[in-house]
Amino acid sequence: MANINNRRLTAVPRNRRILLQTPLMLLLVASGACVAAEGGAESSQPRNVAEAQGAPRAQPADAAAVRDEVFGLATSGGAVKALDEAKSRPDIFSAFDLAQLEELSIRQQVRGGRDKARSMTSTDRFDGLDTALRAADELNAKMPITPEYSPVRTALAGDRTVAYAARGDMKKAVASFETIPPDAEISIDALAGAGDAYLYLGEPGKAEAVYRRALTQASASPTDHATRGYQYGARTRPIELREGLFWSYIDQGRARDASKVLDEMGKSLPPAAQVRPHDLATDDYLRYYRLRAQLLINTGRTEEGIAELEKIEKEVPFNSEISAAHADAISSQSHPRQAIAMYHATLTDHPDSVENLAGLGRASLAADDYEAARKIDQTFGNTFPDNGAVRQFKRDYNAYRSPELTTDLSYEHGNSTLADNSFTSNTYLYSQPFGDNWRVFAHTFFGYAQTDLGRISRTRTGVGGDYRHGPLSLQAEATRSFGTDGRTGGRGSVSYNFDDYWSVAAGLDSNDNSLPWKAYVAHIWGKSANVEVAYRQNDRREVRLSYGVSRYSDSNFHQEIAATGTQRVYTSANQLVNVSLNAGTDSNTRQNTPYFSPSRDYAVAATVMHQWLAWKKSDMSMRQRISASGGAYNQRGFGTSALWSARLEHAWTFKHDITLTYGVEVSSHAYDGQRERSETGFLALNLPF
């Protein structure tokens, strides 16, 4: 705002302010009393103002004093009054001056409206901001499109950026900000609003740039006259800018840079010994320690982060913000029911806590309590579009409310004992949920294989229903396979979560798709049933035990038992390593069959999986997983041999909870004493739409 800053705008002290309508002063000037009493420069000031009001020929010094007074009033929180006074002096203030003052008045309204929106939870919380935005539109429409007014338009764009960001219209906030020339002067509040908007819209790189610019500007002497001295409404503080910069790094997977920001934040705080209970620095320290704990949580050190939050809660009990962060961390460990209890406890003391209510909504979705999630969504409505926690809940809720397509594709080559080449496709299409807990779906399985006995293809379709309510999940499907061996059948499954740790699942299929390919070539079909018990302590440790049986149409009875245990052994900001131990045994009552059917076999293997977060941008990410397995396989009658496999996998997460996983695997295994090597490619897609 070059034209504005070229003017002298220092506010005149209160004991020297010039009143534009002062009849008493006019009388004193006329009688000479002021001159006799005061003398010198001080005594001449009221007389000059009176001349400026009553005589057509005002002195330049008088006009400058009036301008200083009015602009000083405008930049000290009295922009509305300053504008009124300027309008009464058209001999001193031009149309351009009035535009500047009107912009300052709008800026004041924006700050006040932002404070109101932050402090309220009712549906009218944005009334002040909406009024300011309408005033900004009116001013922008009536200003001439000339270079002289460019600084005012730039300042007005900054005001709109702040207002739109404060009311949650993030796309409009960004659009307004991006109309500002890169080298133009812009307020710290506008930069902070743009950073918040970019972060909200999933553009952390752009958010980083504007937060850094704002921090640089905050450390320098202010050049924008409206940032000097008193401001109507809270100003954006450096610690708030650093928090925004911290989250921009977290959303880019740059934990080291986020840690540096926290170090800078800690250095900027006053010594703890100097902080008093009601000082603003008390809240700053609370913010600092909370972010330090959240850094641990967001870099995989969840248990350490939770321990830090528990320490803070002991020091500052009943703080809703800390309680929400603690419950969020518990929920992220696949403990949604425990988190739900924590959210409810906090909401008892803080019923207006938006963050805790949003966290309760997300945990309810994770726990399949869709009725509770729906009620929370209705409670929020469109009242909190500016809140990041509400945005996350709305995103997850909208994904749940969407129809969904899932498909798994696999191609294997080289395992001639089972099939020389094989391809499978397994696709589900789910409807939108209805009645909170119900969906209907269509299911299609297709498979094709080449074997030494011939070629075979298998297609099975089905329709069914899916019911999920709290700990209970049910699925039932009527199926039909096609071809010369086509059959009508059914499939069903049930699972139950006893708590956040223990769960059990069971399934039944009267026309199984998982028989060996050579069995289908020989016109053999089968039925199957299975049950699984799982214990999941947290995201670092779990154990599973399963038992399955199959009855083939050739009277073979197949059984399998498997156990798997997984333990996290290494965690860093962008990497983790899991070690799994897998053991299993199979048996068949018939041998000398056209398909592989050992009377008894055993396998044990250890798997090491390394995961690397290669790329992250807000909700989107790409993780690379490399696995290597090695162990022993024993087949009755053929002795013991080694088995091994290696796997490379890329897992992408896109916006709207779309996921894509693909990869390749190479494995070596002995069947009937003959070693086989196979190569497999796979792809899995999950698409809410």
Q: Greater confidence, 290 or 14?
A: 290
Contact, 577 vs 608, CB < 8 A? yes
User: Would you state the pLDDT for residue 325?
Assistant: 96
User: Would you state the pLDDT for residue 225?
Assistant: 53
In a domain, 315, yes or no: no
Q: Which two tokens stand for residue 491?
A: 């499939």
Residue 457 scores a pLDDT above 60? yes
Task: Tell me, letter by letter, the H, E, C secondary structure of 77-97.
Answer: CCHHHHHHHHHCCCCCCCHHH
Rounded distance between C-alpha atoms, residue 588 and residue 374, angstroms: 49
Angle between helices 354-366 and 370-380 (to 10 degrees): 150
- Residue 61 — very low, low, confident or very high, per pLDDT cuts 50/70/90? low
In a domain, 378, yes or no: no
Phi-psi region of 181 (alpha: psi -120 to 50; beta: other; left: phi over 0): beta
User: Would you state the pLDDT for residue 291?
Assistant: 97
Phi-psi region of 2 (alpha: psi -120 to 50; beta: other; left: phi over 0): alpha
Write the DSSP assignment of 222-278 as a string of letters. P-SGGGSS--SSPPPPHHHHHHHHHHHHHTTT-HHHHHHHHHHHHHHSPPGGG--TT
Rounded distance between C-alpha atoms, residue 214 and residue 187, angstroms: 8
State mean pLDDT over 580-604.
Answer: 96
Give the CB-side neighbour count of residue 14, counting CA atoms within 13 A: 1
CATH number of the domain encompassing residue 668: 2.40.160
What is the overall mean pLDDT for the chain? 89
Residue 405 has phi, psi (to 5 degrees) of -115, 130
Strands (E) across 482-525 are located at 488-497, 502-509
533: β partners:
504, 545
Contact, 415 vs 678, CB < 8 A? yes
Q: Which two tokens stand for residue 76?
A: 């000290």
In a domain, 651, yes or no: yes
Of 94-108, 187-201, 266-280, 588-602, where does mean pLDDT reach its minimum? 266-280
Write the DSSP assignment of 456-490 as a string of letters. EEEEEEEEEEEEEETTEEEEEEEEEE-STT--EEE
State mean pLDDT over 152-157.
Answer: 95
Rounded distance between C-alpha atoms, residue 190 and residue 198, angstroms: 12
| 8-state DSSP, 601 | E
Q: Which two tokens stand for residue 291?
A: 């972010």
Q: State the pTM of this model.
A: 0.85
In a domain, 355, yes or no: no
In a domain, 142, yes or no: no
Rounded distance between C-alpha atoms, residue 183 and residue 666, angstroms: 56
Query: What type of residue is 233?
Result: G
User: Would you state the pLDDT for residue 232?
Assistant: 52
Cα–Cα distances (Å) from 602 to 447, 562, 632, in that order, read 28, 10, 8
User: Would you state the pLDDT for residue 54?
Assistant: 37
In a domain, 592, yes or no: yes
CA angle 541, 543, 546 (to 5 degrees): 160
Contact, 99 vs 74, CB < 8 A? no
Residue where a domain stops, chosen among 33, 63, 93: 93
Residue where a domain stops, chosen among 58, 93, 128: 93
Could you read off the pLDDT of 309-355 as tens digits, one per residue?
999 999 998 899 999 999 999 999 999 999 999 999 999 999 999 99
Residue 33 scores a pLDDT above 60? no
Residue 529 scores a pLDDT above 50? yes
Rounded distance between C-alpha atoms, residue 478 and residue 406, angstroms: 19
| Total number of domains in the chain | 2
Rounded distance between C-alpha atoms, residue 131 and residue 441, angstroms: 48
457: β partners:
448
Q: Are strands 454-469 and 600-617 parallel, antiparallel or unpaired?
A: unpaired
- Residue 643 — very low, low, confident or very high, per pLDDT cuts 50/70/90? very high
User: Would you state the pLDDT for residue 222?
Assistant: 60
User: Would you state the pLDDT for residue 190?
Assistant: 96
In a domain, 553, yes or no: yes
Instruction: Identify the sign of the CA torsion 299, 302, 304, 305.
Output: positive
How far from chain centre, in Å, is Cα 600? 50
* H or E segment to which residue 607 belongs: strand 600-617
CA angle 573, 575, 580 (to 5 degrees): 135
Cβ neighbours, 10 Å, residue 381: 9
Cα–Cα distances (Å) from 346 to 93, 414, 670, in that order, read 56, 58, 58
Residue 69 domain boundaries: 2-93
Cα–Cα distances (Å) from 633 to 214, 584, 643, 647, in that order, read 63, 10, 6, 19
User: Would you state the pLDDT for residue 76?
Assistant: 81
Helix, strand or coil, per DSSP, at residue 645: strand
State mean pLDDT over 509-532.
Answer: 96
Angle between helices 388-401 and 188-200 (to 10 degrees): 20
- Residue 223 — very low, low, confident or very high, per pLDDT cuts 50/70/90? low
Residue where a domain stops, chosen among 93, 118, 153: 93
In a domain, 213, yes or no: no
Torsion of CA 195, 197, 201, 205, to 10 degrees: -10
